[in-house]
Amino acid sequence: MISHHPKFELIQAFVNGDLPASLSAGIAIHADMCPVCQQTIAQFTEQVAENSFEEEYLDRFIVDDNEALDTIASIDFDHMINNIVESSDIAVVVPKVEHTISFNDKTYTIPAALNSMEMGKHAHIGKLTRARIQLNENEIHTSLLHIQPGGGVPEHTHKGFELTVLLAGSFHDESGEYVKGDFIMLDSSHQHHPISTNGCLCYTVANDALHFTQGINKLLNPIGSFIY
Amino acid sequence: MQTNLLSRPTSAKSTNMSDKINHPQLCQWLESVAISRDKQAFTNLFQFFAPKILRIARGKFPNEAQANEVVQDTMSNVWRKAHLYNQDKGAATTWVYTVMRNVTFDMLRKIQGNKEDNLSDDIWPIAESMSIETEIFDDHLEHANLLSVIEELPQAQQDVVKGFYFREMSQEQLAVHLNLPLGTVKSRLRLALGKLKVQLGEQHD
Ligand SMILES: [Zn+2]
């Protein structure tokens, strides 16, 4: 059962469209598998929408009302309406096409939220395989990370944040067992050593190289940049 | 500079539907746009939403032209996608908010030099992914989106499709009713369904 969910503040920012694509997709993937968060998101969206289009509510935030009104007047709304209704374009429903990706002979369905994202080539280190997702978000790096049975990531901390959404399989660390759908957000205060006994596929987002803490693993620096 | 619409204390509880917005009216306008491409209904929707969208967009985009673009793109999506709105799934305001947030998100990504990849509709779908066969056969084409696609068919095919699905006439009854050979009714129906499937997209699973 899913037991790790995004914090409410994160859901707020998600609904408001204020998160980067990487984190937004992470929440969408989780919500697809989590009825609880789905419900929270739906309710919060309804509320934000209501507030957004409620006249008096907006007025409270307009500091320079005259300027705002000037701008509104400077757009030719009638012209815009005419332009729009002249178009006979109509959006047709395109059923979602399932995309798949294979890691070590296992095929997985790519979550719908990632459908239009560009996947990089696979890179391997030991039992880890990574496919970078090309989102061009500067220091934020997003990947699909596949761990073969018995594989794991050496003990490490994070200088920034590290989000893992489990897409398939399971893994465990010092804090417990994680299953499909879990949304695991770690910051620099966490130190962990995930191991996957039966293998797993994760969606990962990190904004800084991982910092390895185990003695010998300090020599394994390449793995830090590999996962990050 | 950003207008913080979320600063108001929130309870996760739903349905704070205020009586300050006439929800049934908005719904009805949206339905009229979906079903009959009603320009007056669209104008009403535009007059309600556009000034508010503009104010919100001005909080996110310092550039006036970009804020205008958010209004233009959002309202133009409302026009093109009204038939995808399902009032059983939520308020019209929620749906328009989603359309606006998605337009804004894609535009910000483009402007910030990330990518021009329009990811928003994958992250926040504005319509349920639909399965054509079950919609057609279980729901008897009641959905407005199908209706608008049917309207694009040649008249002869429209007559057959509408008779078959809306009035639930058998192919035999239709042949009598339209004074056509049964074979013609069958082939028109087949043709029309083929077009509908292409229009609406084949089901993949
Ligand atoms: Zn959840």
The string of pLDDT tens digits covering residues A85-121 is 987 777 776 666 788 999 988 999 999 999 989 999 9
What pLDDT is stored for residue B57 in this prediction?
94
| pLDDT < 50 stretches in chain B | 1-16, 130-142, 202-205
Within 13 Å and on the Cβ side, how many CA atoms surround A55? 7
**Residues facing residue A151 across a β-bridge:** A196
Q: Mind telling me how many Å the CA of A27 is from chain B's nearest CA? A: 9
Ramachandran area for residue A220 (φ above 0: left; ψ -120 to 50: alpha; else beta): alpha
**Residues facing residue A177 across a β-bridge:** A172
- Residue B23 with chain A: CB contacts under 8 Å: none
Looking at chain B, which residues constitute the CATH 1.10.1740.10 domain(s)?
A: 20-123
Q: What is the CATH number of domain B143-204?
A: 1.10.10
> How far is Cα A225 from Cα A89, in angstroms, rounded to an integer?
47
- CB nearest B105 (choices: A17, A85, A114): A17
Q: Mind telling me how many Å the CA of A73 is from chain B's nearest CA? A: 9
The CATH architecture to which B20-123 belongs is Orthogonal Bundle (1.10)
- Residue B27: name the closest of B86, B84, B101 by CA: B86
**Between the CA atoms of A211, A213, A216 and A220, what dihedral angle is there, to the nearest 10 degrees?**
-10
What pLDDT is stored for residue B201 in this prediction?
57
In this complex, do A91 and B48 lie within 8 Å of one another by their Cβ atoms?
no
* Mean pLDDT rounded to a whole number for chain A: 84
What is residue A91's three-state secondary structure? coil
User: Are B47 and A55 in contact, with CB atoms under 8 Å apart?
Assistant: no
What pLDDT is stored for residue A87 in this prediction?
79
What pLDDT is stored for residue A187 in this prediction?
81
Number of domains observed in the structure of chain A: 1
ipTM over 0.90: no
Q: What is the span of the domain harbouring residue A74? A: 1-228
Looking at chain B, which residues constitute the CATH 1.10.10 domain(s)?
A: 143-204
Q: With cut-offs at 50, 70 and 90, classify the pLDDT of residue A147.
A: very high
What pLDDT is stored for residue A219 in this prediction?
46
The CATH number assigned to the domain holding A174 equals 2.60.120.10
- CB nearest A12 (choices: B6, B14, B120): B6
Q: Among all residues of chain A, which has the CA nearest to that of B127?
A: A93
Q: Among all residues of chain A, which has the CA nearest to that of B101?
A: A17
Structure token digits, residue A53: 């289009």
